[in-house]
Amino acid sequence: MNNLVVVESPTKARTLQRFLGDQYQIEASMGHVRDLPKSELGVDIENDFLPQYIIPRAKIKQVNQLKKTAKLAKTLWLATDPDREGEAIAWHIQQLLNNSQVKRVVFHEITEEAIKQAFAKPGELNMQLINAQQARRVLDRLVGYKLSPLLWQKVKRGLSAGRVQSVALRLIVEREREVTAFVAQEYWVIEAELKNSDVFIATLKADIKNEKEAKEHVKNLEKASYVVSKVTQKEIRRYPYPPFTTSTMQQASSNRLGFSAKKTMMLSQALYERGFITYMRTDSVNLSTGAVAAVRNYIGQNFGKKYIPAAARIYKSKSKNAQEAHEAIRPTDAQRQLSLVGADAGLTRDHARLYELIWKRFVACQMSEAVMDQTTVDVTARGSHPERPKGVEGSIYLLRATGSVIRFEGWLKLYGKEEETDEKNQVLPALKENMPLSLIKLLPSQHFTEAPPRYNEASLIKKLEELGIGRPSTYAPILSTIQERFYVEKQEKKFIPTVLGFAVSDFLIKYFPDVFDYQFTAQMEDKLDEIARGERQWRPTIREFYEPFEKKLEQTGETAEKVKVAVELAGKKCPKCGKDLIIRVGRFGKFLACSGFPDCKHTENLEEIINIKCPDDGGDIVVRHTKKRKTFYGCKNWPVCKFASWTKPKEAISNKNKE
């Protein structure tokens, strides 16, 4: 055997084997083959932060297999993913196998053409990318490993803190406090249904604070005369969105498909490894000239020439480091239809749904813009004003109506309209200035100002990206970690901090304000990017961070007071001693425990009942968790009733047995 190719996964290996043939033996490393040890710090601080890598026990068999195969190979080809993490995996493999002839091949899509080009022009390992990955790994290990004992001592045993995850937690905690402190303000809106040839609705331009004011305005408006005072028409062009980056794919997948960031990355990884899409961890919106030419040809054949702009659309990446992953996320073949993806072995309907989203975004980004005619009509209502003395006439009210008509759909024909922006649109009749109008009826309605919305996965990722925190490979792990540690919970798909989350976040911000500052964290991401570009050395960067951090650790250990985590009452009494039951968090989630512990050791399972009945026996549906903390829904009457579902049952389904 002359050629050994090492990739990360068996699926990727099978896809490459189709293109490379029998002259290459392809093995999978199953991810990282070396890592820092779990049971100790694993960083020699005194020896300039030297990482002390080990082969995890679960990987020993795989590494031995790779070593055995590598001895028979003349050339070792490292074909891991084209980013920092992939480069680091390749480096660790090279260090372990120690072959004399090693070649690095980089490709951003797994197609026959891309693979053959990569193997025809192999390169060397990029130590700049490897050092950036090492710096992040060491930095995160130092923060997590050093802070955890302090949290155990000052807050609660078993806690841990992450450098970037804690900043995400801070965002959620601060937003929750904004929601809690928010006081809703009443206001009223008055709409008028008006008519000339056709009926339309105009809204009164006034600040109305309460029902009394609203009634006074309605009283005057009922007696007023209405006339069109101004008509403004303008053309609006809506341009397509850029092709997906990792973060925008995660946001769109959350908003449109309801997928978590973690699920989106799992699905997209499978699509990439089977050769359906380009590499899914990227902050670039660049597209290859070949891909653009192919999709423009597809648009012309399937939609017509008017849907192709005169020149190809070029999108510029905001990230300075976007050259690490040369392209946006796109299908490898614009002609490949959804049905072909769904038919591939091992893929599900969810894979097909995500592929369709990626495909539509890519095709739409090269289509013509949508053209709309927007009309704004100002209506003057003359009548008596409630604030004027009785008998004074001639006060003027201003009402406004806005409507738009799509003249040319452009990219919206494929991608579809956004519900939030299009649902209130109205088509206005032909109106001219000084045209009299008749009032059909007034529609006063009470409203209240709304608190800032809690973060969901999409909005949190968007906020982190806006702040410059996190990178394509880190968004999904950030969101997963803060949930797995029970620092936040999801309710109606929104993040809400737990009592524990509040306590941990407040402690970290109080004693380590610089480390968990938004700007500081973003600056650290920039420094890691500089290391990746070869503009900065990684060990001095770690030293610059660690020295003040270590001093702060020592000071906090000596001076910080122990935090008293608020007790969450369950609203039930202990059946053994009669004291209050409280909600505690253990390894597998929440449970009920007696507040009299350690004198009383009574515990119970905490059953979270949702307001939906079991479709099988009509019992209550409760939220349950597996040992791996995955949520599922089951009947409270288990084991008599065996109903269980990974997805939340719908009320419509649960009522079927009542019919």
Supply the residues annotated as catalytic.
Answer: 279
Domain assignment present for residue 641? The answer is yes
pLDDT digits (tens, 9 = 90+) for 357-376: 999 999 999 999 999 999 99
Question: Is residue 199 domain-shared with residue 155, that is, in the same domain?
Answer: no
Tell me how crowded residue 312 is: count the other CB atoms within 10 A of its CB.
Answer: 13
Domain assignment present for residue 132? The answer is no
Q: pLDDT: is 341 or 225 the higher one?
A: 225
Phi-psi domain of 105 (left: phi exceeds 0; alpha: psi -120 through 50; beta: other): beta
Tell me the pLDDT band of 390, cut-offs 50, 70 and 90: very low
Q: Strands, E, within 597-655: which ranges?
A: 603-605, 608-613, 620-625, 631-635, 644-645
Is pLDDT above 80 for 444?
yes
Q: Does 639 sit behind a cis peptide bond, omega within 30 degrees of 0 on the bond before it? A: yes
Beta strand 620-625 with 608-613 is antiparallel
Both ends of the chain: CA-CA distance in Å? 68
Q: Identify the CATH number of the domain in which residue 350 sits.
A: 1.10.290.10
pLDDT digits (tens, 9 = 90+) for 139-156: 999 999 999 999 999 998
Number of alpha carbons in the 13 Å side-chain half-sphere of residue 504: 32
Distance CA 18, CA 274 (A): 11
What percent of the chain clears pLDDT 70, i.e. is strictly above it?
93
**pLDDT at residue 419 in the model:** 55
Query: Which residue among 406, 425, 448 closes a domain?
Result: 448
Q: pLDDT: is 234 or 642 the higher one?
A: 234
Domain assignment present for residue 133? The answer is no
Q: For residue 394, give every residue at least 6 positions away whose Cβ sits within 8 Å of its Cβ, in sequence order, or none.
A: 382
Q: Identify the CATH number of the domain in which residue 71 sits.
A: 3.40.50.140
Question: Is residue 460 domain-shared with residue 403, that is, in the same domain?
Answer: no
Number of domains in the chain: 5
- In sequence order, which ranges of 391-452 are alpha helices (DSSP H)? 412-415, 419-422
For residues 79-89, one letter each, b for 16 or more C-beta atoms within 10 angstroms of the residue's C-beta and e for the rest, the string is bbbbbbbbbbb
Domain assignment present for residue 131? The answer is no
Q: Identify the CATH number of the domain in which residue 217 sits.
A: 2.70.20.10
Distance CA 260, CA 456 (A): 10
Question: Is residue 580 domain-shared with residue 625, that is, in the same domain?
Answer: yes
**pLDDT at residue 322 in the model:** 56
**pLDDT at residue 394 in the model:** 47
Domain assignment present for residue 9? The answer is yes
Mean per-residue pLDDT for 294-300?
Answer: 97
**pLDDT at residue 146 in the model:** 96
**pLDDT at residue 652 in the model:** 39
- Which of 31-35, 95-99, 381-385, 654-658 has the least mean pLDDT? 654-658
**pLDDT at residue 319 in the model:** 66
Query: Which domain does 343 fall in, by range?
Result: 246-364
Question: Is residue 391 domain-shared with residue 505, that is, in the same domain?
Answer: no
**pLDDT at residue 583 in the model:** 83
Mean per-residue pLDDT for 241-248?
Answer: 97
- Which of 213-217, 302-306, 415-419, 433-437 has the least mean pLDDT? 415-419
Question: Is residue 460 domain-shared with residue 443, that is, in the same domain?
Answer: no
Distance CA 366, CA 368 (A): 7
Question: Is residue 491 domain-shared with residue 637, that is, in the same domain?
Answer: no
* pLDDT averaged over every residue in the chain: 91
Distance CA 97, CA 79 (A): 15
Question: Is residue 37 domain-shared with residue 82, that is, in the same domain?
Answer: yes
Domain assignment present for residue 135? The answer is no
**pLDDT at residue 549 in the model:** 97
Question: Is residue 353 domain-shared with residue 386, that is, in the same domain?
Answer: no
Question: Is residue 46 domain-shared with residue 65, that is, in the same domain?
Answer: yes
Mean per-residue pLDDT for 161-174?
Answer: 96
Query: Which residue among 426, 448, 470 closes a domain?
Result: 448
Question: Is residue 42 domain-shared with residue 106, that is, in the same domain?
Answer: yes
Is pLDDT above 70 for 321?
no
- Which of 29-33, 103-107, 193-197, 626-630 has the least mean pLDDT? 626-630
**pLDDT at residue 427 in the model:** 86
Domain assignment present for residue 485? The answer is yes
Mean per-residue pLDDT for 503-522?
Answer: 96
Question: Is residue 192 domain-shared with residue 293, that is, in the same domain?
Answer: no
Query: Which residue among 364, 396, 428 closes a domain?
Result: 364
Question: Is residue 96 domain-shared with residue 170, that is, in the same domain?
Answer: no
Is pLDDT above 50 for 409?
yes
Domain assignment present for residue 137? The answer is no
**pLDDT at residue 389 in the model:** 36
Q: Identify the CATH number of the domain in which residue 555 sits.
A: 1.10.460.10
Q: Secondary structure of 397-413 in the HEC alphabet?
A: EEEEEEEEEEEECCCHH
